[in-house]
Amino acid sequence: MLAEQVEAMMSLDQLPAWESDTGRLLVVIETPRGSRNKYKYEPKYANMRLDKMLPLGAAFPYDFGFVPSTKAEDGDPIDVLVIMDEAAFAGCVVTTRLIGVIEAEQTDGDKTIRNDRLVAVLDTARNPATIRSLDELDTHRLDELERFFISYNEAEGRQFKPIGRHGPKKAEKLVTAAMLDRPPNARKE
């Protein structure tokens, strides 16, 4: 019975990547800002599950989630860090404006893959985004974000190596390339 109920619900990972009427990027929050608990969306249950706990003293600096209907090189939906003043909750769908990407390589044992981190800001009718590009964030904040992902991966026995920072156009291209079903007008301009 539970399996049938879950199948009848729309799965969060099957939502569109872009909001059709506004062109804003949709992000499903998995882990809220300030949390040591790392949640991961589990399509089988159409719900979040606790994946792991970060070490003492470590917490997510901003809300962390994924772009639905995408698949990155690591096999998961493409990752997004959402900068906003307050934490959302696991499973919350947030409309955002992409401001850039931190490109990175992740090495686990002898296997290295790209595992980029998109960066976005909250963008709603009542909270329009004022930041338009990674260039508008101070270098210190970007360095701290990179350091978080480096130490997060080190705790997992992996290496995370940032290899570049780019603005929103590059980030949008990465989303489009990762979309599972790319209709001709994948994004409203």
pTM: 0.90
Report CA-CA distances (Å) from 36 to 17, 129, 139, 151: 27, 27, 25, 13
Average pLDDT over residues 92-101: 97
- 177 backbone dihedrals φ, ψ, rounded to 5°: -65, -30
Average pLDDT value over all residues in the chain:
91
106-136 pLDDT tens trace: 999 999 999 999 999 999 988 889 999 999 9
Q: Residue 158: pLDDT above 50?
A: yes
Query: How big is the chain by its Cα radius of gyration, in Å?
Result: 16
Query: pLDDT band for position 2 (50/70/90)?
Result: very low
Q: Is 34 helix (H, G, I), strand (E, B) or coil?
A: coil
User: What was the pLDDT predicted at 189?
Assistant: 43
Q: How far apart are CA 117 and CA 162, in angstroms?
A: 10
User: What was the pLDDT predicted at 11?
Assistant: 86
What residue ranges define each of the domains in the chain, with the CATH number in brackets? 14-34+60-178 (3.90.80.10)
Q: Where are the beta strands (DSSP E) in the chain?
A: 25-31, 37-42, 47-53, 63-66, 79-83, 93-108, 111-114, 117-122, 159-166
User: What was the pLDDT predicted at 185?
Assistant: 45
User: What was the pLDDT predicted at 137?
Assistant: 95
